[in-house]
Structure 1
Amino acid sequence: MRILIADDHPLTLMGTKVFVESLGYKIEDVCSNGITAFNLILARQPKIAILDINMPGMDGLEVLEKVHRQKLPTKVILLTMHKEMTIFKKANQWGVSGYILKENAYDELQKCLETVKKGEQYISKNLENDLVIDNHSAGQNYAIDKLTFTEKKILELIAQQKTSKQIADMLFISEKTVEGHRTNIIQKLELPKEKNILLIWATKHFK
């Protein structure tokens, strides 16, 4: 069974590769960003793709969505540090086959691979207690749900008073791309076009 692994942290990437190989699986490709991961899935169609959610280029959720929309046969397992209910729901919506918190990865990855191999879904056993509901009202939740994972991440960084250049450097994207995301976020949240409106909104909702 051919497997692809994508993670932007070299130590995590190689650690996962060695661990999965020790279970007797063949790792076909490893990569460190979402765009490469999706292109490899498209070209080689591995049986399973183990993806970190937070990656440059294209995050794991966006790769999962593309795999789902294009009806590719590759099963996607997401490894994540995120415990937010909205992220989990989005992954579920796009047909995720496995969802594991990184802190429990080595305890659960073997069981997850066995489950996914049988065509069943595996959700981390620790996830049910760990999932937290975002601290927003229902209306705010609806607004934030319209944003992509990357847009949410940019909002969090804006709340930390990071500049567009700092955000670009942190997410390995161009400053122009960050500005484009800012414009999209303002439109999706239906915010007035006022100076520093995103900083004001983000500071209020991402405490």
Structure 2
Amino acid sequence: MDIIIADDHPLTLQGTQAFVESYGHHVVGTCANGVSALNMIQLRLPHVAILDINMPAMDGLDVTKKIKELKLKTKVILLTMHKELMLYNKAREFGAYGYILKEHAQDELKKCLEEVEKGNQYVSDSLLKDLISVRETGTSELDKLTFSERKIVELIAQQKTSKQIAEMLFLSEKTIEGHRTNIIEKLGLPKEKNTLLKWAMKNGLDR
């Protein structure tokens, strides 16, 4: 199969490419962000796109959603470090064929590609166990936020300013400030100075 790979971590990108090529597939392009990935997918029309979920400009879910909207035939496999039920449900909604945790990618990517080539969907067993446990223990405060909002909160936890976050996510500072306001309302936080930073650090997002 012709495959495009997108990941903003160079070592992960190179490693994934090496694995995919060792399985006999042809990597027709690699890129480091979602916008480049979508452009390349539209240009090359690969059989499969292997996308990191957490990327600048457009994340893997955004690209997957756009592929569905454009009715492209490229099948998406998402690689992620996230185990949240909300993200998995979004991936299913947007038509992703594969959903694999990065920590198990070396073991499961080959099997996933085999299943996707047959037209089947693939979700790693380890992830399904985690998702079931999440269902049983209920939702967290973070489940109230969109993936983009989570990224912003994580960057706030790293004590990044709105201007720095805007530059990192290729958005305007005004947009980031708008997201901050929405996040504070969703979480029901007091409207005081550094309220989001305090909440993020309290919930361990600075680690």
* TM-score of the pair, normalised by structure 1: 0.82
Given the superposition, is the C-alpha separation of residues 55 and 72 from structure 1 closer, same or farther in structure 2, using an over 3 Å criterion? same
**Cα RMSD for the two superposed structures:** 3.0
Measured after TM superposition, the shift of residue 153 of structure 1 is: 1.3
Q: What CA distance in whole angstroms lies between the structure 2 residues aligned with 1:152 and 1:16?
A: 25
Q: What CA distance in whole angstroms lies between the structure 1 residues aligned with 2:63 and 2:119?
A: 20
Deviates more, 1:121-130 or 1:190-199: 190-199
Measured after TM superposition, the shift of residue 201 of structure 1 is: 8.2
- Name the residue aligned to 1:149: 147
Structure 1 portions without partners, runs of 5+: none
Query: 2:130 matched to 1:133?
Result: no
SS in structure 2 at match of 1:58: coil
Given the superposition, is the C-alpha separation of residues 129 and 190 from structure 1 closer, same or farther in structure 2, using an over 3 Å criterion? closer
Which amino acid counterpart does residue 50 of structure 1 have in structure 2?
Answer: I
Q: Do 1:158 and 1:198's aligned partners in 2 also have CA atoms closer than 8 Å?
A: no
- Residue pairs, 1:31-42, within 5 angstroms: 31-42=31-42
SS in structure 2 at match of 1:126: helix
Q: Do 1:156 and 1:202's aligned partners in 2 also have CA atoms closer than 8 Å?
A: no
- Name the residue aligned to 1:179: 177
- Name the residue aligned to 2:3: 3
- Name the residue aligned to 2:91: 91
- Name the residue aligned to 2:23: 23
TM-superposition CA deviations, 1:127-153 (whole Å, max 9, x none): 12233639x9769577x2xx4312211
- Name the residue aligned to 1:199: 196
- Name the residue aligned to 2:52: 52
Q: What CA distance in whole angstroms lies between the structure 2 residues aligned with 1:109 and 1:138?
A: 29
Which amino acid counterpart does residue 153 of structure 1 have in structure 2?
Answer: K
Given the superposition, is the C-alpha separation of residues 40 and 183 from structure 1 closer, same or farther in structure 2, using an over 3 Å criterion? farther
Given the superposition, is the C-alpha separation of residues 138 and 30 from structure 1 closer, same or farther in structure 2, using an over 3 Å criterion? closer
Which amino acid counterpart does residue 152 of structure 1 have in structure 2?
Answer: R
Q: Do 1:191 and 1:197's aligned partners in 2 also have CA atoms closer than 8 Å?
A: no
Identity %: 54
Q: What CA distance in whole angstroms lies between the structure 2 residues aligned with 1:141 and 1:178?
A: 18
What is the aligned residue count? 202
Measured after TM superposition, the shift of residue 182 of structure 1 is: 2.8
Given the superposition, is the C-alpha separation of residues 115 and 138 from structure 1 closer, same or farther in structure 2, using an over 3 Å criterion? closer
SS in structure 2 at match of 1:89: helix
Which amino acid counterpart does residue 62 of structure 2 have in structure 1?
Answer: E
Q: Do 1:47 and 1:73's aligned partners in 2 also have CA atoms closer than 8 Å?
A: yes
Q: What CA distance in whole angstroms lies between the structure 2 residues aligned with 1:76 and 1:12?
A: 17
Q: Do 1:100 and 1:108's aligned partners in 2 also have CA atoms closer than 8 Å?
A: yes
Match of 2:156 among 155, 158, 164: 158
